[in-house]
Structure 1
């Protein structure tokens, strides 16, 4: 894709005002960090897209994390709202009036539309620019995991046949990322652990298979603990991974309980 078409895509896809492409990379990064602190996540995305335009989709770790966190915060709000209304619909299924049911359905459809638009924007950015430009190793794993995450979000609130299509694409993305992580990252690397966690969540939430979720989570946990027990392992790397290891443990306990009760 030519620089002109890349710039056109990134500028027209932003939900904020048009980005001033004459702003320097450092200025864009500073503006993105300020917007992040102010919780103006669409502005964060606009500034990082500006950087992508000027750098042929090559982002630093800090820039990449700002983009990821911005999209995560936007979609997390939508997903929470969707789940709230979904639970309300189930609770009110027998007692609510048809007007209440209709209003809940309409509100849920609005949330689905917003979540779908955001998720599709993310995966298009990943598939057209960030993944093709990514270096082998941690960077490629990070972006491919992110691709799997957003197709999973699409699958969560979609109905067949779209749900099956999104679920299959999410699975393919996770498998590719995990295979690449196994060959390029050590078992206790936080990006590899984060991928294992989200891949296990996919099996539990999308495939309704706590057994496969437990198998993947336990395998990742056991390998990471074995590596981290080595005296030569970096303490700093371990600190970065501790939170994810705890989440893996918590989910493993929860899912094991589900299997025992079934």
Structure 2
């Protein structure tokens, strides 16, 4: 086995160990090494999933923290506790900086390595959806022009994933559905256009009654979420 192959195998194994130990930042580091070592060669399905899990856990913890702190900030503002609000805003800014760094990291990998090397429809849709997800995470806390740009990048990535989808590959249906659900959620939360999100989702899921039932349940969930957000 070549030294490159050995390093790749070792990093994958270390990523698995880090996952078991719930040390997700280190899991990200190991999988980043795998991605950069592969160069033109595409990640295996296992490697791709490990990368996704690593980033999902790292970003998930910060997103949860941000939501909690934002909620506390709103409560303090309603009480008129200006001093506390100032402290909370500074702390929230620290979390947002971490969120930005994580999102920028995976988006850079997607643009420079993962999407260009994707050789199958499945992997391309997977990475484009991932790209949309992390732009969406940026849109959750960015403001002004940055928020608008993140939202537009999200929709562009999701639409690209849809265009890359080959309807004849039934195994991709669930992945496509997830892509469209995330796209619809972004549209609803950022632009309040449930009609647009419905237009994106319906063509794919009408093929399956079970998916249609899931869609109907999701629409109710989105409407409830919209009431909370707005």
TM-score of Structure 1 vs Structure 2, range by shorter chain: 0.7 to 0.9
Partner of 1:37: 20
SS of 1:24's equivalent in the other structure is: helix
Partner of 1:194: 178
SS of 2:69's equivalent in the other structure is: helix
Deviations 1:180-230 (A, max 9, x none): 11556438622212212211111122222223233434444323x15x8xx
Deviations 1:81-108 (A, max 9, x none): 1111222222332313211110111111
Residue 161 of structure 1 pairs with residue 145 of structure 2: yes
Partner of 2:219: 252
Q: Structure 1 residues 99, 246: CA separation in 2 closer, same or farther (over 3 Å shift)?
A: farther
Deviations 1:16-75 (A, max 9, x none): xxxx97843322222111111111112212222222233225211111011011111111
Identify, as 1 or 2, the structure richer in helix: 2
Q: Is the 8 A contact 2:76 2:82 kept in 1?
A: no
Range with bigger deviation, 112-121 or 88-97: 88-97
Q: Is the 8 A contact 1:36 1:70 kept in 2?
A: yes
Q: Structure 1 residues 161, 196: CA separation in 2 closer, same or farther (over 3 Å shift)?
A: same
Q: Structure 1 residues 97, 259: CA separation in 2 closer, same or farther (over 3 Å shift)?
A: closer
Tell me how far apart the structure 2 counterparts of residues 106 and 248 of structure 1 sit (CA, whole Å). Answer: 40
TM-score normalised by L of structure 1: 0.76
TM-score normalised by L of structure 2: 0.86
Deviations 1:155-198 (A, max 9, x none): 11001111111111111111111111155643862221221221
Tell me how far apart the structure 2 counterparts of residues 222 and 155 of structure 1 sit (CA, whole Å). Answer: 30
| Alignment RMSD (CA, Å) | 2.7
Query: Unmatched 5+ residue regions in structure 1?
Result: 1-19, 229-241
Partner of 2:11: 28
> 1:46-85 to 2 correspondence within 5 Å?
46-56=29-39, 57-85=41-69
